[in-house]
A = this chain, B = another copy of it.
Amino acid sequence: MVKKLKTNDKHINKLARLLTGPNAILYHKEDLLAYDCDGFTIHKHLPRAVVFPKNTEEVAKIVQYCAKHQLPFLARGAGTGLSGGATPLNNEVIISLVRMKKLISLDVENRRAVVEPGYINLKLTNSISDKGYYYAPDPSSQYACTIGGNVAENAGGAHCLKYGVTTNHILGLEVVLPNGEIIHLGNDGIPDTPGYDLIGLITGSEGTLGIVTKITVRILKNPEEKQTVLAYFDDVEDGSRAVSDIISTGIVPAAMEMMDKTAIEAVEAAAFPVGHPKDIEAVLLIEVDGISAGIEEQITDILNVCTSRNVREVKVAESEQERARWWANRKTGFGAMGAISPDYLVQDGVIPRSRLPEVLSRINQISEESGLRIANIFHAGDGNLHPLVLFDANKPGDTEKALEAGSACLKVCADVGGTITGEHGVGIEKIEEMRFVFSDSEINAQTEVREVFNPDNLLNAGKLFPSPGRCGEVKKAMKAVIS
Contacts and interface: CB of A to CB of B under 8 A. Distances in A.
Contacts of A183: 439, 441-442, 445
Given A196-B201, A200-B200, A291-B251, A191 B354 contact: no
A220 B212 CA distance: 34
Interface string A424-454: 0110001000100111011101101111110
Nearest to A250: B221
A430 to B, nearest CB: 7
Contacts of A353: 109-110
Interface stretch (A25-33, A60-68, A161-169, A366-374): A161-169
A437 B291 contact: no
A248 interface: yes
A197 B204 contact: yes
A359 to B, nearest CB: 13
A452 B201 CA distance: 14
Given A177-B445, A193-B419, A352 B434 contact: no
Report how many copies the assembly holds. 2
Contact of A205 (B167, B196, B414, B418): B196
Contacts of A248: 109, 221
A194 B441 contact: no
Contact of A293 (B204, B293, B384, B426): B293
Contacts of A201: 196-197, 200-201, 449
A420 interface: yes
Contacts of A354: 109-110
Contacts of A250: 132, 221-224, 291
A196 B191 contact: no
Interface residues of A, number: 92
A158 to B, nearest CB: 11
Contact of A191 (B111, B165, B464): B165
B111 A423 contact: no
A442 B201 CA distance: 14
A70 interface: no
Interface in A281-330: 290-298
Contacts of A167: 192, 197, 200
Contact of A350 (B177, B191, B465): B191
A382 interface: yes
Contacts of A421: 192-194
A420 to B, nearest CB: 6
Nearest to A203: B197
A124 interface: no
Given A193-B419, A423-B192, A452 B453 contact: no
A198 interface: yes
A384 B191 contact: yes
Given A354-B110, A452-B449, A419 B297 contact: no
A195 interface: yes
Given A192-B421, A194-B437, A442-B184, A111 B383 contact: no
A271 B476 CA distance: 72
A244 B109 CA distance: 7
A309 to B, nearest CB: 15
A384 B420 CA distance: 37
Contacts of A425: 194
Contacts of A420: 194
A443 B194 CA distance: 11
Contacts of A168: 164, 168
Given A190-B422, A290-B294, 11 more contacts: A109-B353, A110-B354, A184-B439, A188-B351, A191-B350, A191-B382, A194-B420, A197-B204, A198-B449, A200-B201, A291-B298
14 contacts: A110-B354, A165-B191, A185-B442, A187-B350, A188-B418, A191-B379, A191-B384, A192-B350, A193-B421, A194-B426, A201-B201, A221-B250, A292-B294, A294-B294
